[in-house]
Structure 1
Amino acid sequence: MQALITALLWVSAIGCGLIAGLYFAFSTFIMTALDRIGPAQGAAAMNSINSTILGSLFMPLFFGTTVAAAILAVLALVRWSEPGAMVMLAGGLIYVVGMFICTVVYNVPLNNELARAGAGSAEVWARYLRDWTFWNHVRTVASTAAMALFVVALLARHSDLP
């Protein structure tokens, strides 16, 4: 069981880091660049990104990291007396709520609305940019925080790590 938890912590920390990096890129420059090219072009580019990402390696990473983080949260409760359980639980909850649920409740519906509107609505694009980017900031922070907490849990469980 110790080896399984260690493996899940590594997978989760790396997965959270990769996803945080992608979200960070969108939050810090991709959305700004899409806004600069104009509403029709920006919406068309974002719709293309959204349809392309569904068939990419991002999806197994997205779902796999979510499942691993959720399992870690449950294992933390079951093994509460072990070192790192509290930060393991916090990392799992922050990731599942702050990344996964946020994505499902906010970002995906906004993506669907943008796809329905196509590239023709400047009003939809302006609202999309504002709202989607805000929730993406939340996902970025949650993914980064979860990654850090999983690393702390690894260190707490394995004091022999450098």
Structure 2
Amino acid sequence: MTQSIITTLLWFSALGCGLLAGLYFAFSTFIMTALGQIGQAPGISAMNAINAVIQRSLFMPFFFGTTLVSLALAVLALFRWGEPGTALMLAAGVVYVLGMFVCTVIFNVPLNNALDAVDPASAQAAPVWARYLQDWTLWNHVRTAACLAASALYIAAIAAR
């Protein structure tokens, strides 16, 4: 029974990481560029609207659910060390939790909060927006890579089992 639960959690995490990788990939490859091209006030307003909506969307259960399951799988891997796929399971959990969740909390969320605190049309918003476009996107690239790598590692762990 435990094996089937772990396999189910591995699939959940592989798919959750893949979904989030796709979302972050879209932001990294074209959404942020488009927001930067429409101008400061509309770009800030659009990004603030996205940030407000995403917090009330289906994204949040996947964001937190995948994080919690990834953390649980990493801990389980330590207790089941030596079984097929456990090293991959541990690596996936660590990559995901550090590269996606911790990165989001330490870098992306504070940048979102700073952006939300400025008047989009003010002169004070210009340096905040310039920093946001550069720094938020950089850390989003990290989240994209972490999610993609974790998804691949989870799939490899499933195959190894």
Q: TM-score normalised to the size of structure 1?
A: 0.96
Secondary structure, counterpart of 1:117 in structure 2: coil
RMSD: 0.5
What is residue 83 of structure 1 aligned with on the other side? Answer: 84
What is residue 36 of structure 1 aligned with on the other side? Answer: 37
What is residue 54 of structure 2 aligned with on the other side? Answer: 53
What is residue 92 of structure 1 aligned with on the other side? Answer: 93
What is residue 133 of structure 1 aligned with on the other side? Answer: 137
Deviates more, 1:22-31 or 1:117-126: 117-126
Matches within 5 A, 1:1-162: 1-120=2-121, 121-157=125-161
Which letter maps to 1:94?
Answer: V
Distance apart, 1:81 and its partner CA:
1.1
Which letter maps to 2:45?
Answer: A
- Identity within the alignment, %: 64
Unmatched 5+ stretches in structure 1: 158-162
Looking at structure 2, the residues matched to 14 and 5 of structure 1 have their Cα atoms a distance apart, in angstroms, of: 14
Looking at structure 1, the residues matched to 65 and 48 of structure 2 have their Cα atoms a distance apart, in angstroms, of: 24
- 8 Å CA contact 1:44–1:118 kept in 2: the answer is no
Which letter maps to 1:131?
Answer: D
Unmatched 5+ stretches in structure 2: none
Looking at structure 1, the residues matched to 130 and 104 of structure 2 have their Cα atoms a distance apart, in angstroms, of: 19
Which letter maps to 2:24?
Answer: Y
Output one character per residue of 1:106-137: Cα deviation in whole Å (capped at 9) or x when no partner. Answer: 00000000000131311110000000000000
Q: TM-score normalised to the size of structure 2?
A: 0.96
- 8 Å CA contact 1:98–1:139 kept in 2: the answer is yes
Which letter maps to 1:113?
Answer: A
